[in-house]
Structure 1
Amino acid sequence: MIPLALLMICVAYLFGSLSSAVVICKAFSLPDPRTAGSKNPGATNVYRIGGRIPALLVLVMDILKGTIPVYSSYFLGLDPVLLGLVAIAACLGHIFPLYFGFKGGKAVATAFGAMLPIGLDLAGLLILSWVIVVFLTGYSSLGALVAVSLAPLFTWLIKPLYTVPVIMLSLLIILRHRDNIKRLVSRSEGKIWDKGNTKE
């Protein structure tokens, strides 16, 4: 079991290291998301610099980077804690991508994808939480922080067995957003519809 888990953790990291934002921006002849807009290679920044279609493609690819390794590991029989480590590896690949100089994004969509195998009810609650916060405030980062903070509670109510790995994943995403938290407190965080060199 341990050798299989180590293999899947490595696969998840390598899978997560494929920067969807960079690949899609190159395909659409858009500026490099690491040097344009908020300089964050994620779907929100791609939306700012390229519009809905490229951003949607980035979002789908980033979600799949979490879903495919975790779902595969689940079918291979890994226990919940090991599934949590696979999910974290996929997110770490997104945050520190091997193929792109270890400079990646926030891994929110990848974390969402990693939680997706738990159930569509969890996915729906996470999306609803994000949408409500973004609709009320305009801050994508705040929506992500609220959603991942609620994720362990939602998981405990839906499938308690997976609460610990979801807590692990949520803590990673919150830690990755520490700069966003500081900007939110100081009210200098960029909103989702802001254009130009905004902070994200």
Structure 2
Amino acid sequence: MLTTFFILIAAYLVGAIPTGVILTRLTGGEDIRKTGSGNIGATNVYRTAGRKLGIITLLGDALKGLLPVLTVSLCFPADTTLIALTAAASFLGHCYPVYLGFKGGKGVATALGIFLVLSPLSVLLAVFIFAGLVWKTRYVSLGSISAAAAMPICILLLGNDTAIFTGALFISAIIIWRHRENIDRLIRGKENRFKA
């Protein structure tokens, strides 16, 4: 029980590392929370601080989801409940980071890292959905919401166990919830389109 507690705390603290904030500060840029959409994630960094920092932020945010889940998967491969809880903890760290007063990102890149460990084939299917929608509509938010909604379905169809499916459902629901303002803007036709 104590081991599980420390694993989950460690996963949360790794997930809470604010990659975008750190990178923009290190490069002399302004606080990412005070520019663009105010979000700390890769899309806002890309739009306000440039392509290179946006891509590095994406990779960093994905890694902080991937590494804790991969570590636990290798150390406790049969304990899918612990693996799913670790995934949830690192994801919540990104969305509600203690280092930033619990005001974090929307979790898409961190979820990507998590799902690459939990179900790589599901990620492939979700990436097709994301890329197709962003290419067609130029709305990153629509692609993110749709891919998040598809992930638990893909995981279920590919035969993963109940704990992994439940973890995926939890993560996907929070991603969609954290995009509620984007959903409102999409409905009103006010959402910003992505410019490559």
Gap regions ≥5 residues in structure 1: 195-200
- Give the paired residue count: 193
Runs (4+) of structure 1 exceeding 4 A deviation are none
Corresponding residue of 2:168: 166
Residue 106 of structure 2 aligns to a residue whose secondary structure is coil
- Report if aligned partners of 1:64, 1:110 keep a CA contact under 8 Å in 2: yes
Measured after TM superposition, the shift of residue 56 of structure 1 is: 0.8
Measured after TM superposition, the shift of residue 179 of structure 1 is: 1.8
Structure 1 residues 98-134: Cα deviation after superposition (integer angstroms, max 9, x where no partner): 1122221101110111111124322222221111111
Corresponding residue of 2:144: 144
Measured after TM superposition, the shift of residue 157 of structure 1 is: 2.5
What is the alpha-carbon distance in structure 1 between the residues aligned to residue 156 and residue 47 of structure 2?
35
TM (normalized to structure 1)? 0.89
- Report if aligned partners of 1:31, 1:49 keep a CA contact under 8 Å in 2: no
Measured after TM superposition, the shift of residue 27 of structure 1 is: 2.0
Structure 1 residues 150-184: Cα deviation after superposition (integer angstroms, max 9, x where no partner): 00121123242132221121112112222221221
Corresponding residue of 2:51: 52
The yes-or-no answer on 1:130 pairing with 2:130 is yes
- Report if aligned partners of 2:15, 2:92 keep a CA contact under 8 Å in 1: yes
Residue 34 of structure 1 aligns to a residue whose secondary structure is helix
- Report if aligned partners of 1:84, 1:165 keep a CA contact under 8 Å in 2: yes
Structure 1 residues 7-46: Cα deviation after superposition (integer angstroms, max 9, x where no partner): 1211111011110001111122222110011111111111
The 5-angstrom pairing of residues 175-190 of structure 1 reads: 175-190=177-192
TM (normalized to structure 2)? 0.91
Between the aligned residues of both structures, percent identity stands at: 36
After superposition, the Cα gap between the structure-2 partners of 1:11 and 1:188, relative to the gap in structure 1 and judged at 3 Å, is: same
The 5-angstrom pairing of residues 1-200 of structure 1 reads: 2-77=1-76, 79-161=79-161, 162-193=164-195
What is the alpha-carbon distance in structure 1 between the residues aligned to residue 20 and residue 87 of structure 2?
20
Residue 147 of structure 1 aligns to a residue whose secondary structure is helix
Measured after TM superposition, the shift of residue 47 of structure 1 is: 0.7
Q: Which has the higher contact order (CA 8 A, sep 6+)?
A: 1
Residue 160 of structure 1 aligns to a residue whose secondary structure is coil
Gap regions ≥5 residues in structure 2: none
